[in-house]
Structure 1
Amino acid sequence: MLTVTLSTLRTRWMTLVGTFVALALGVALIATMGLGLASTLDAPEQEPERFAGAPVVVRGTDELRVPTPIGDRTQPLAQPRGVAPEVAKALAAKAPTVADRSFPVRVAGPGGDDDLVGHPWSIAAFGEYRLTAGHEPRKPTEVVLSGDASLVGKAVSVRTPAGLSTRTVAGVVAPARFEEPIFFADAEAAKLSPRIDNLVVQAAPEMVRTVVGAGSDVQVLTGSNRRKADPEPNRDRDALIAMNALLGTAGGVTTFVSVFVVASTFAFAVAQRRREIGLMRTAGATPRQVRSMMFMEAVVVGVLASVAGCVLGSYSAPWLASLLVDEQLAPPWFTIGAYTWPYHVAFWTGLLVALGGVTVATVRAGRIRPVEALREASVDTKAMTPGRWVFGAGLLATGLSMLVWRLLADPGDALHRKTYTTQPMLLITAVALLAPILVRPLTRLLAWLPAQLPGATGMLVRENAAAGVRRTAAIAAPVLVTVALAGSLLGATATINEAKANEIREQTRADLIVQADDAAGGFDAQTVAQVRQVPGATVTASAATPVYHLEEGTALIRSDAQAVDPRELVAARKLPVQAGDIADLDDSSIVVNKEWVQHTVGEQVDVWLGDGTKKSLRIAAVIAAGTGNNGVYVTPRNAPGFTPDRLEVTWAAGSDVNAGTAAVRAALQPTGADVQTRAAWIQSEYPSNSRQTRVGYLVVLGIALIYTGIALGNTMMMATSDRVRDLAVLRLAGATKRQILILVAVEAMTVVVVGAVLGTIVTAFNILGIWGSLAALSVWSSVVLPWQTLAATVGACAVVAVVASVLPAAGALRTRPVELSGARE
């Protein structure tokens, strides 16, 4: 059988090249994603930056620790505690200390408007800041900026927590990668921000710990732990966590696509050889010998293609890493590490898929009697096997059952990215397995009108596609997965975004909305008071603050909350209240959403505020969970340390809106905040994917879709090269080369449309599941399908299919019809 196998590899090279290409590209995708995923698991330790030169840093606790029956549970505090004055005084009595303070500063001057971070000058030395021009701030009115030396001596307008003032640039320092600072004289910084955020102690760590005492509410940071006092101390780790999620999703999708396409391609390649198998059975080959030959072929092709795919993956993985760095999805230092396990996973997956793809077909082929095989070569009479029925129907029932289960039990889960990314895979596989029973009626329906037109082209398209069910299903498979994935993923995000936008429209009553910049740190009391004094204006000032609570006594959960006066809240927003009354909110109560385990009005819940303070609050009202934007509401007293970061202005009846709007803009002009009308704010807040998210979808979808496009062209060439006899018969019957090429092109487009229709059906089921989950969450939204993307995808598939079918057909037509009709299989 080895001689027969080698002979077959030589004579059927076109079919085997097709399977080789599909498998090699699939293995390359798996290896690429595996290498990228492995490289996100080990992040280099982030070194201290702002306190790189400090021996010891004392810092207030920045972690909430709550004991539970199964151990302590922790969460990062949104408002880290400062160093207590008594601790700072005790340390200062033992060793030299330098107090660090950080506060938001907005600067308007020669360099433009910038949001900076204020610090005392004495702390600059520990971050290796060095003056490049001028001198340190010696007077309360002097500051030091990072930038060009030409700024020295310039007057700049500075807004600090104390208000607006004019300062003189006394000196400049070189820019830093980790922050944009502005330095004040030490006494002035202490006046602007009395709280001590960090304390540098020039002493031995043991002495500092002795003074501080065990169990105190401060941290003593040394060595690499000093980075905890830096801005974004975990930015590299957080970036890698996001990268891990992205590449994990991309790896799952690409693995599914590659396995799906490779298995389909292998099964089709075996199905093409039924006449050859029949001849071998007629010559005396046993079913066992037939299966052994085909398995040996699969092993040879599988090993060679898997090796080639691993080599290709080793080159494509660095390109992927470079793309992620360029698009700011990965830290600048991110590279592909020297890992071997992704190659093992990719290689053995490729080989197992090759063997799995050939198994079912060879078992069936080995059971066919010689005469039946010869008779069955032209028309597919039994395309569905019992196994295909079982697995197809089972996966379809499972996929639909999961849609219904989420709708009834946990509709919020359907809105998670992992859910609507993986859900389509079940239905895609189910429809692909059941495709043979769908292809024939669908093809006849699509080709009914062309078949009525003069000429034989329409009739031949209909009969050829309906007769070659396996061929049609195999070619439609890449189109099915392409359209279904693109439609399901993009349609799900678009539908969810539309629902979120509807929530914003329905809940916003204010006429003007002002959102503070993240770097600005919110609006000071003087600014809020000025806006409140505008005639006819009802102002709702709210501050974003977290609230922590224990679920079922073991899980410490952080919930986003808004701190707002309940009397003002009713005027600015219309919340989806399901129980209780928003007006009952006071300093001893809380408004929760229905996602909370405890959501009964009047029930007491233990929560921890943004600074870690524990309180027991009564539930005053319960609002719908919605799409996840409906958070928690508390009063400003329960948001210590947080300043208003959003102002909503509602005009009283009969007010001069134009004059009032101008007054609001004038009051907020020094802050640099953008005053928007309700319509403009809703438009700006319309949930849309960020650039990073769009690039993420490019990684998830783009690579997979390019692969399926190549697989489609590959399968089309295999199918066309196998129809040499058919083309010869048409030529002998009198068809011209031009007519045959038109027929081949129309058949290719018909099969693409069949795959597109099946993919659209899968998309419709997935999107309807999302829409039903939104309705169960009391959010009404229209179904949004990315028609332009789907049309472009189908158009690209049609172009690939036509080119990949017409080119080999044109090459085959160069040979005389008599020679073609007698060509060997």
Structure 2
Amino acid sequence: MFRTALRNVLAHKARLLMTVLAVMLGVAFVSGTLVFTSTISDAFQSSSQKGFDNVDVAIQRHSSDPAAGAPGAPGASSPLDQKLLDKAARLPGAASATGTVSGFTAIADKSGKLIGDGFSTRGGNYFPGKEGKDARYPMRDGAAPKGADQFALDAHTADRAGYKVGDTVRISVDGPVREQKLTGVFTTDDGTVAAGGSLALFDTASAQKMFAAPGEFSEIDVKAAPGTSQTALKDAVEKVLPKEGAEATTGKQLADEQAKMIAQSMDGMKTGLLAFAGIALFVGVFIIANTFTMLVAQRTRELALMRAVGASRRQVTRSVLIEASVVGAVAAVTGLVAGIGIGAGLRALMSSTGARVPDGPLVISPSTIVTSLLVGIVVTVLAAWLPGRRAAKIPPVAAMNSVHATATTKSLVVRNTIGALFAGAGTAAVLVATGMSDGKATMAAGAALLLIGVFILTPLLSRPLIALAAPVLRLFGISGVLARQNAVRNPRRTAATASALMVGLTLITGLTVIAGSVQQGIDKMATASLKADYVVSMASRTPLSPDVAKQIAGLDEVTASSPLRNSASRIGTGTEYLTGVNGKDFGKLTSLDFTSGALGTLSGDRAVVDDSTAKRKGWHTGSRLPVTFEDGKQGTLTVAGVYKGNEMIRGIILDNATLAPHQKHITDMQVMVKTKGGATAASKDKLVTALGKNPAITVADKKDVSDAIAQVFTLMLNMLYGLLAMAVIVAVLGVINTLAMSVFERAQEIGMLRAIGLDRRGIKRMVRLESLVISLFGGVLGIGLGVFFGWAAGELIGGSLPTYQLVLPWGRMGVFLAMAAVVGVLAALWPARRAARLNMLQAIKAE
């Protein structure tokens, strides 16, 4: 039986090629994902560990108690000061102690644009040790910064921007543009720099003024003397820590935590990519099952003869599974090799797009090899098991007389009943989930059941849906009539072929409906809640200097403006953030929908609260709230109104004149601006120019604000389109495979058609139309299911986005249906050509 299985593989190499390609693509995606994520994760972990070479114990603000030491908390003051630094440096077993501060620092390139990716454009302090050098940052060129107008820049950024020692560079820390002299270029193992970010260094006094407060640090790093372990040094450090607000951590713990965070961030990417590899493999299952069903059907008499001469059912099934194992192994090995190339290519692609990846070897772990091989073989064997089992159950005499060819009425009734039950249960679960507050799990389960149910029912659905195309197909004469008959001749095969395309288009359509509807909802929200023409903020979403708001308010073309400031407070037993605004102009810049009370003029102790906060706290209009401000002083706020919060505006809002006296460091999150001429290109240019064409500041109109919020959806959708393209490619292979096998099966019929007068062009047209009908059938099912799932998911999203409304992207759905038609036409090229070139006499004589 083993030799028989191998012989069958070698005898049907061409027919099994599409199956091998389908499995290979899925396995290549799996192995490529594992290689890529392992390589990137290993490179970043190695780089981050180097960054902790000079840190044996780190003293940080305590992370578990916001009131004890977190910046901005009520009554908070930093415990990490020069006094604690000196104590740590004098400890037995301590070689040195380094105080660090850091924060956002935008570096402009020579054309004035921001270098780096916003969140990774950082600044810090150069802390010279006993020898006058900072061991963390060896200077490649020039010298360390020594004055408020000097700074040093990492080598990656300096080389990328073309800066050299002595250049004057435009930078921004919290809004206003500074022009500072570049005195040094240094090298660093910092992982964010290696990933494409930038790092600027200032002298410690200047850095403290910019990022903390004079004399304060954000972290103190202690280096152990030779012979002192990190644990022993940590024990010594803990003895000099203040009672509250600070904690000590070993360098090894920090490195391990960093490595864990990197691994977790890679896990998200890995899970997403593997999910789409799974979809491609799932689509490939249809191809494998179809191929082996047809191969087994062609060998029915051969298998029957084997049964007649003594082979058992188990042996027949085993021979088919051995054949599948060989095919799966070949596909898995090929896919593994291709995947390694994909992993290396993805890394190179990241580098070519400007994202820097630390140097490191290509990581091909044993688990990657084992997983790839198992996936390829197991998927193929499982998909071939049902055709093999079905072949083994055919009685030998019936098989040799071909009376088994048509499925029994009983089997079709059972299939349709099961499919209807699955589809009904799935539809019910999805509908129930739309009315639940958290129905994600229920909806996912319902969607899976419905998809399985529709797949089972696809043979039943194929006849009426394909019959709808009959009037159009008649226009193509006898070729069209034959194409329709061929498409419904074997409903199960047609269903399996169409289902592969259906799965891909269901996902693509559903995601497009959701993304388009969310975008529309966000646009509506931005239009409804904002009267302001522009919102000014930092590119990094970090705090903005209050000087920017003052500068904007002084411009002639500005009619109203208001900064938004956040400040932590304690109301009752919980910490709440207060949002300070310009009470006089706030009503001119926003349009809030109040459920009770009114905005009025915000001044004194008047405040307005969003509905979700009011509901959570049990507040209502007229409630008096005892508050402990950031500086520890107490007061009382009166709720003047409750409004409907959204992604733009939410929280407890009061006048800045009330909030500012209690803030230690006044910073703005953004500034809302209304101008005389409205939102025009000219007024926007005036604002940008007035702010010094600052690379760190963005001036956004309503559309820009909406696009920024929806950007994550757009980016995700584009990525999903690219990833789902693989499922569509596999589906194309499935259509090609089915048509090629169908042409082989109908060789005698095609020869007879040629003999009675149908020319080669007519044969080609017949095969192409059959492929087109099958592809459009799968496309219609996929788009229909996608719209339903998109609507259902939107019902859930509407709970958190009140302005959400269903938008059907008719244009894109038309493109998707056209894409299904193109898939059918392209997939038919080779089978149609092969059918037209059949020798009619040899085909008629074929057994």
TM > 0.5 between the two?
yes
For residues 474 and 784 of structure 1, the distance between their equivalents in structure 2, rounded to whole angstroms, comes to: 28
2:102 corresponds to: 102
Aligned: 1:778 with 2:802:
yes
Check 1:239–1:325 CA distance in 2 against 1; reply closer, same or farther (3 A cut). Answer: farther
Aligned: 1:735 with 2:735:
no
For residues 94 and 711 of structure 1, the distance between their equivalents in structure 2, rounded to whole angstroms, comes to: 73
Q: Deviations over 1:284-337 (max 9, x none)?
A: 957996844541232112211232233123213323323443454995457442
Q: Deviations over 1:794-821 (max 9, x none)?
A: 144123321242133134x1x243x323
For residues 355 and 76 of structure 1, the distance between their equivalents in structure 2, rounded to whole angstroms, comes to: 62
Cα displacement (A) at 1:527: 2.4
Check 1:807–1:222 CA distance in 2 against 1; reply closer, same or farther (3 A cut). Answer: same
Tell me the SS of whatever aligns to 1:688.
helix
Q: Deviations over 1:52-82 (max 9, x none)?
A: 4355443223455899xxxxxx999999984
* Structure 2 letter corresponding to 1:405: V
Out of 708-717 and 24-33, give the one that drifted further: 24-33
Check 1:625–1:41 CA distance in 2 against 1; reply closer, same or farther (3 A cut). Answer: farther
Tell me the SS of whatever aligns to 1:513.
strand
Give me the identity figure in percent: 17
Aligned: 1:218 with 2:240:
no
Q: Deviations over 1:172-204 (max 9, x none)?
A: 445775363444444444455423222345666
1:70 corresponds to: none
Tell me the SS of whatever aligns to 1:374.
coil
Aligned: 1:438 with 2:461:
yes
Aligned: 1:129 with 2:131:
no
Cα displacement (A) at 1:470: 2.6
For residues 212 and 255 of structure 1, the distance between their equivalents in structure 2, rounded to whole angstroms, comes to: 55
In structure 2, which of residues 660, 664, 673 is the aligned counterpart of residue 649 of structure 1?
673
Cα displacement (A) at 1:434: 0.6
* Structure 1 letter corresponding to 2:616: Q
Contact 1:26 1:350 in 2 (8 A): no
Aligned: 1:389 with 2:416:
yes
For residues 25 and 153 of structure 1, the distance between their equivalents in structure 2, rounded to whole angstroms, comes to: 53
Any residues of structure 2 matched to 1:123-522 within 5 Å, and which? 123=128, 125-146=133-154, 147=158, 151-155=164-168, 167-174=180-187, 178=193, 180-192=198-210, 193-194=213-214, 195-201=216-222, 205-206=233-234, 208-213=236-241, 216-225=244-253, 234=258, 238=261, 240-263=263-286, 265-267=288-290, 269-270=292-293, 277=300, 291-292=313-314, 294-328=316-350, 332=358, 333=360, 335-339=363-367, 341-343=370-372, 345-346=374-375, 349-350=378-379, 352-358=381-387, 361-362=390-391, 366=394, 370=398, 374=402, 377=405, 382=409, 385-410=412-437, 425-451=448-474, 453=475, 455-518=477-540, 521-522=542-543
Out of 337-346 and 171-180, give the one that drifted further: 171-180
* Structure 2 letter corresponding to 1:88: L
Check 1:762–1:573 CA distance in 2 against 1; reply closer, same or farther (3 A cut). Answer: same
Cα displacement (A) at 1:510: 0.3
Cα displacement (A) at 1:609: 11
Check 1:155–1:480 CA distance in 2 against 1; reply closer, same or farther (3 A cut). Answer: closer
Contact 2:607 2:652 in 1 (8 A): no
Gaps of 5+ in 2: 116-120, 226-232
Cα displacement (A) at 1:732: 3.0
* Structure 1 letter corresponding to 2:127: S
For residues 260 and 635 of structure 2, the distance between their equivalents in structure 1, rounded to whole angstroms, comes to: 32
* Structure 2 letter corresponding to 1:218: A
* Structure 1 letter corresponding to 2:836: A
Aligned: 1:821 with 2:844:
yes
Aligned: 1:722 with 2:745:
yes
Tell me the SS of whatever aligns to 2:343.
helix
Check 1:312–1:254 CA distance in 2 against 1; reply closer, same or farther (3 A cut). Answer: same
2:728 corresponds to: 705
Contact 2:23 2:332 in 1 (8 A): no
Query: Taking structure 2 as the reference length, what is the TM-score of the superposition?
Result: 0.77
Aligned: 1:801 with 2:818:
no
Contact 2:609 2:652 in 1 (8 A): yes
Contact 2:126 2:201 in 1 (8 A): yes
Tell me the SS of whatever aligns to 2:710.
coil
1:573 corresponds to: 590
For residues 307 and 7 of structure 2, the distance between their equivalents in structure 1, rounded to whole angstroms, comes to: 15
Check 1:428–1:600 CA distance in 2 against 1; reply closer, same or farther (3 A cut). Answer: same
Cα displacement (A) at 1:727: 0.6
Contact 2:73 2:630 in 1 (8 A): yes
Cα displacement (A) at 1:723: 1.2
* Structure 2 letter corresponding to 1:645: M
For residues 253 and 486 of structure 2, the distance between their equivalents in structure 1, rounded to whole angstroms, comes to: 71
Contact 1:83 1:197 in 2 (8 A): no
Check 1:276–1:425 CA distance in 2 against 1; reply closer, same or farther (3 A cut). Answer: same
Check 1:261–1:822 CA distance in 2 against 1; reply closer, same or farther (3 A cut). Answer: same
Q: Deviations over 1:680-716 (max 9, x none)?
A: 5346536235897467425631333322222332222
Cα displacement (A) at 1:40: 8.6
Check 1:64–1:287 CA distance in 2 against 1; reply closer, same or farther (3 A cut). Answer: farther
Aligned: 1:764 with 2:787:
yes
For residues 16 and 154 of structure 1, the distance between their equivalents in structure 2, rounded to whole angstroms, comes to: 65
Tell me the SS of whatever aligns to 1:129.
coil
Aligned residue pairs total 794
Contact 1:26 1:309 in 2 (8 A): no
* Structure 2 letter corresponding to 1:129: Y
Check 1:821–1:668 CA distance in 2 against 1; reply closer, same or farther (3 A cut). Answer: same
Tell me the SS of whatever aligns to 2:217.
coil
